[in-house]
Amino acid sequence: MLKDYLRLHFIVLLWGFTAILGKLLTVPPVELVFWRTLLAAGGLAALLLGRRQPWRIPIGQVGRLLGVGALVAAHWITFFLAARISSVSVCLAGLATLALWTSLLEPLLLWRRVRGYEVGLGMLTMLGLYLVSQAELDQLLGLGVAVLSAVLSALFSVLNSKLVKQHPPLRLTFYEMLGACLSVVIFLPFYGHYFTAGRGVQLGWHGLDWLWLLLLAGACTVYAFSASVELMKRLSAFVVNLTTNLEPVYGIGLAVLIFGVEEKMSGGFYLGTLLILVSVLVHPLVEGWDQRRLQRLQQARPE
């Protein structure tokens, strides 16, 4: 069990490392997501073949999975863009608002009740986000793009929560990575013509880009996903979700270690980030308590 816990924390550490890799890579964000999704789709295809798992899904579901993949591509593009135009720490602080947007989107898309504690934690998150924005006024654009990335990730999470019940996770993710890659391929001509200021599409690798891309696609995507799916068979969803919420903590810590002074922020930034992280970490605790309370009420209700 201890080995599983340590492995889970290592996976979350890898996820926290993705923003740093996005900063180290010289490939622009859109082209970077193309390479990441192409390599990840190839790695997942190899896993499917190696484990002799079936590929086929109902034809009516293909378009839906590819569409969700396009959403993943948009999330990753904005995520890497935020890390480039601001700092890794600001990017991860904005991404930490994911739980807030998920709690707002779930009642709208899944028709579930609005939970009072989520409203309270959401207000705490917004206060933290306000403190971060006031402390780092010169990085507001990057923070805004990171928050947009968190909204896109929340939308993906809510939609994926329904799809994961219908398809095996490995096959589901393969089609979503394929959809993400195809959506970027379709977008590249427009991007190269309208958004690159005449530079065009830049798919070439420079320096250590090959190493960072292999780490990003192989370790942080294919390995981290397949290993997390395996751990979910033995660890509770509560433990997995609580540990996953530590991603910004690990990422910000690694950024300070690797980039040094460039990643050191003001006291207001860390206070705001702390409030966001408190709301994120408290959420699964309160959610678990609320579910146990409802179960007790149902059990106590007379037949």
Compute and round to an integer the Cα radius of gyration of the chain. Answer: 20
Q: What is the pLDDT of residues 221-266, one digit of tens each?
A: 888 887 887 777 777 666 676 677 788 888 888 888 888 877 777 7
Query: Alpha-carbon distance 72 to 44, whole Å?
Result: 16
pLDDT at 148: 94
pLDDT at 241: 66
Query: Alpha-carbon distance 103 to 117, whole Å?
Result: 10
Q: Residue 69 belongs to what domain range?
A: 2-300
Q: Give the whole-number percent of the chain exceeding pLDDT 70.
A: 94
Whether 20 and 80 have beta carbons less than 8 Å apart is answered as no
pLDDT at 41: 92
Q: How far is CA 207 from the centre of its chain?
A: 27
pLDDT at 238: 60
Residue 1: count other Cβ atoms within 10 Å of its Cβ. 7
Number of domains in the chain: 1
| Residues of the chain falling short of pLDDT 70 | 236-239, 241-242, 290, 294, 297, 299-303
Q: What is the pTM of this model?
A: 0.86
pLDDT at 80: 92
